[in-house]
Structure 1
Amino acid sequence: MENSQLVAIISRLDTMMKAEGTDVQMRRFEKEGQERGLVSYNPETEMFTLEDIATKQRFEYDNIDLAALDIYDLLND
């Protein structure tokens, strides 16, 4: 059985939330070496921001599960 992509995504987002300090945390999400999205987490507002690299659209989330699902969809389009 293959490892869950959602578990890996949520783990990365959770690490961002648990980082010490007030600095904005950023992670890049890639598939097959191609960057698909850039995610930032602002601990002051407790918000995730996902930027779709292809379309330059930005989406904001206050829920880790919703952010993870959209990242998953972005990686599997």
Structure 2
Amino acid sequence: MKNSKLVAILKRLDAMTEATDNDVQVRRFEKDGVEKCLVTYDAATGTFELTESDTQKIYQFDDIDFVAIEIFDLLDV
């Protein structure tokens, strides 16, 4: 059975929420070496901000599941 891509995304996002070295965590999500989005997590507000690399559109989420689904959709295209 192949590992779930969604679980891998959730693990990376969860690591962002648990990190204690900075108030703001940043992760890049790529497909085949091409950046699809940049995600930041602000521990002070408990929110994620996703920036699409192609369009530079910015989305804010306060739910880890919603940001994970958005990342999954961007990586699955």
What is the total number of aligned residue pairs between the two structures? Answer: 77
Match of 1:10 in 2: 10
Match of 1:74 in 2: 74
State the 1:2 CA deviation.
Answer: 1.2
| Alignment gaps of 5+ in structure 2 | none
State the TM-score, normalized to the length of structure 2.
0.96
Q: How does 1:43-58 map to 2 (within 5 A)?
A: 43-58=43-58
| Alignment gaps of 5+ in structure 1 | none
3-state DSSP of counterpart to 1:36: strand
Q: How does 1:27-46 map to 2 (within 5 A)?
A: 27-46=27-46
Deviations 1:15-72 (A, max 9, x none): 0000115520000000001110000000000000000000100000000000000000
Query: After the TM superposition, which parts of structure 1 deviate over 3 Å for at least 4 consecutive aligned residues?
Result: none
State the TM-score, normalized to the length of structure 1.
0.96
